[in-house]
């Protein structure tokens, strides 16, 4: 099976990302809300401390009772949340001072008044340790909540996806396997959810189309095999015809000729006159008398073969057509041997002529049948393929070239399964 992206994996990752994003957002919002609550609590505490100091120090500062001021300051700083305290009189002199070492704090300035007159100032610092500890605890609680939420949601999503998504996908996979094996009757695609109905219906339509195509291709291959068998019968008939020709030659049904090249005397036997349809008294027994019987389209080629034999390039043995006096055209197969003198000059040529008209007509019929067969194949809109017993493609039509995107030349000789079966 081809490797690729997994829809199940991708949708799972997308949901994981969504859940994480929502969880982080929820934790962040909750953290900011709790932090704002802590800040509000800090402001309330600061206001309470300010009100307490204003009330507690008004009369001691007015009466300049430093001992009482010191007691109030000592009592106030005994609170763990108070990090520092400085009390000054109306002249700015420090009446009481206490600083707790190495404590992060937020300072607050306060003016002490009596009947509208400023009688002193107070500067106190509130320790931030408890509030920072609350912040850290809030953040930790948020992280734990987020992790638990993500774990629960991911587990739930995995169960839901495995139940709701994998089941129809597994059905498609099973149906694909059945289609690959050609078991179209076993393809079952239950309509589980409306969202999957179009996919399942499309797959069913595709499998039906593939089954129909395979049946059509099978019938076309059967017709093609029948036509090939007919062609083989025709070839067998041609072979038998050639055998009969050989038998006829053995019986003396072969024209024999003898050409005296030096004196240009051409002698024929009775079979030659019969083949050419010429009476003996009408034949001049010279080379030109024979060349005039050649078909106009074959004259140049045939005489060229004569000249090649005279030059010693090869023996004369072409196939050519003649036109008989009655207008009939016959196909002749020649064979000969050239004799030369001591100097190598050709002096005589002896040969035979065989009437192969019947064979040529049979070959033409075969070619016509082949062209007709090919036209039937090419006329089909469905891909038609002939294959060997080994599964190799031996011929295709244009529809197959279009379906595969490859030319006939590229397809012939390749494996049928490379193009017309589903990948495993």
12 and 139 housed in the same domain: yes
22 and 146 housed in the same domain: yes
Q: How far apart are CA 263 and CA 350, in angstroms?
A: 14
Q: How far apart are CA 221 and CA 394, in angstroms?
A: 12
150 and 263 housed in the same domain: no
CATH at 85: 3.30.450
- Comparing 395 with 370, the larger pLDDT belongs to 395
Residue 302 has pLDDT above 70, yes or no: yes
Q: Flag whether 242 is in a domain.
A: no
Mean pLDDT of 139-159: 77
**Enclosing domain of residue 343:** 252-363
What are the two backbone dihedrals, phi and then psi, of residue 382, each rounded to the nearest 5 degrees?
-90, 150
Q: Flag whether 268 is in a domain.
A: yes
Q: Over the stretch 26-47, which tens digit does the pLDDT of each residue have?
A: 777 776 777 777 778 778 888 8
Could you tell me if 12 and 158 are in contact, meaning their C-beta atoms sit under 8 angstroms apart?
yes
Q: What is the mean pLDDT of the chain?
A: 81
Residue 328 has pLDDT above 80, yes or no: yes
pTM of the complete model: 0.35
What pLDDT, on a 0 to 100 scale, did the predictor assign at position 246? 47
Vertex 328 angle, CA 324 and 331, to 5°: 80
Residue 4 has pLDDT above 60, yes or no: no
What pLDDT, on a 0 to 100 scale, did the predictor assign at position 341? 95
- Comparing 187 with 390, the larger pLDDT belongs to 390
136 and 24 housed in the same domain: yes
Which of 11-15, 146-150, 225-229 comes out lowest in average pLDDT? 11-15
pLDDT bracket for residue 289 (50, 70, 90): very high
150 and 260 housed in the same domain: no
What pLDDT, on a 0 to 100 scale, did the predictor assign at position 6? 63
- Candidate ranges 97-101, 205-209, 336-340; pick with highest mean pLDDT: 336-340
The count of structural domains within the chain is: 2
What pLDDT, on a 0 to 100 scale, did the predictor assign at position 1? 47
- What is the DSSP annotation of 42-68? HHHHHHHHHHHHHHHHHHHHHTT-HHH
Q: Over the stretch 341-362, which tens digit does the pLDDT of each residue have?
A: 999 999 999 999 999 998 888 8
121 and 260 housed in the same domain: no
Mean pLDDT of 117-129: 86
Vertex 6 angle, CA 4 and 12, to 5°: 155
What pLDDT, on a 0 to 100 scale, did the predictor assign at position 253? 62
Q: Flag whether 198 is in a domain.
A: no
Backbone torsion region of residue 394, taken as left when φ is above 0, otherwise alpha when ψ lies between -120 and 50, otherwise beta: alpha
131 and 265 housed in the same domain: no
Q: Flag whether 104 is in a domain.
A: yes
Residue 245 has pLDDT above 50, yes or no: no
Q: Which of 155, 173, 197 is the last residue of a domain?
A: 155
140 and 268 housed in the same domain: no
Give the residue among 277, 347, 290, 284 at the shortest CA–CA distance from 320.
290
CATH at 358: 3.30.450.20
Tokens of 140: 């930790």
128 and 256 housed in the same domain: no
Q: Flag whether 416 is in a domain.
A: no
Strands 319-323 and 329-340: antiparallel
Q: Which of 97, 122, 155 is the last residue of a domain?
A: 155
Strands 393-396 and 94-99: unpaired
Tell me the CB-side half-sphere exposure of residue 148, using CA atoms within 13 A: 7
Q: Flag whether 211 is in a domain.
A: no
134 and 261 housed in the same domain: no
What pLDDT, on a 0 to 100 scale, did the predictor assign at position 244? 53
- Comparing 235 with 251, the larger pLDDT belongs to 235
Residue 277 has pLDDT above 90, yes or no: yes
Q: Flag whether 388 is in a domain.
A: no
Residue 189 has pLDDT above 70, yes or no: no
What pLDDT, on a 0 to 100 scale, did the predictor assign at position 165? 63
Q: Which of 136, 155, 174 is the last residue of a domain?
A: 155
14 and 147 housed in the same domain: yes
Q: Over the stretch 385-418, which tens digit does the pLDDT of each residue have?
A: 888 888 898 888 888 888 888 888 888 889 888 7
């Amino acid at each position: 099976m081809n490797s690729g992206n997994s829809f199940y994996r991708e949708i799972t990752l997308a949901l994981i990302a969504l859940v994480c994003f929502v969880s982080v957002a929820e934790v962040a919002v909750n953290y900011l809300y709790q932090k704002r609550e802590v800040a509000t609590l800090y402001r309330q505490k600061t206001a309470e401390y300010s009100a307490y100091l204003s009330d507690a120090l008004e009369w001691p500062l007015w009466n300049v009772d430093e001992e009482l001021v010191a007691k109030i300051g000592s009592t106030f700083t005994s609170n763990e949340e108070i990090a520092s305290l400085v009390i000054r009189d109306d002249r700015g002199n420090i009446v009481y001072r206490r600083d707790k070492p190495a404590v992060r704090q937020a300072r607050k300035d306060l003016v002490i008044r009596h009947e509208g007159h400023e009688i002193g100032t107070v500067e106190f610092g509130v320790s931030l340790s408890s509030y920072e500890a609350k912040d850290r605890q809030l953040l930790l609680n948020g992280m734990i909540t987020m992790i638990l939420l993500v774990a629960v949601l991911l587990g739930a999503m995995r169960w839901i996806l495995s139940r709701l998504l994998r089941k129809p996908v597994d059905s498609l996979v099973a149906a694909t396997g059945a289609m690959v094996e050609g078991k179209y009757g076993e393809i079952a695609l239950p309509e589980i959810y409306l969202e999957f109905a179009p996919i399942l219906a499309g797959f069913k339509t595709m499998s039906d189309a593939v089954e129909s195509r395979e049946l059509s291709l099978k019938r076309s291959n059967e017709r093609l095999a029948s036509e090939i068998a007919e062609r083989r019968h025709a070839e067998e008939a041609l072979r038998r015809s050639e055998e009969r020709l050989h038998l006829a030659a053995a019986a003396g049904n072969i024209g024999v000729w003898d050409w005296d090249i030096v004196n240009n005397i051409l002698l024929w036997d009775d079979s030659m006159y019969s083949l050419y349809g010429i009476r003996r008294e009408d034949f001049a027994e010279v080379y030109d008398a024979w060349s005039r019987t050649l078909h106009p389209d074959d004259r140049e080629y045939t005489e060229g073969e004569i000249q090649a034999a005279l030059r010693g390039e090869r023996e004369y043995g072409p196939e050519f057509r003649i036109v008989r006096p009655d207008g009939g055209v016959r196909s002749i197969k020649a064979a000969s041997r050239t004799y030369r003198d001591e100097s190598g000059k050709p002096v005589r040529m002896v040969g035979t002529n065989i009437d192969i008209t019947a064979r040529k007509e049979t070959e033409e019929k075969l070619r016509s049948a082949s062209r007709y067969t090919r036209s039937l194949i090419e006329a089909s809109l469905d891909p038609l393929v002939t294959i060997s017993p080994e599964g190799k493609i031996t011929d295709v039509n244009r529809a197959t070239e279009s379906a595969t995107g490859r030319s006939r030349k590229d397809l012939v000789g390749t494996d049928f399964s490379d193009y017309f079966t589903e990948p495993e």
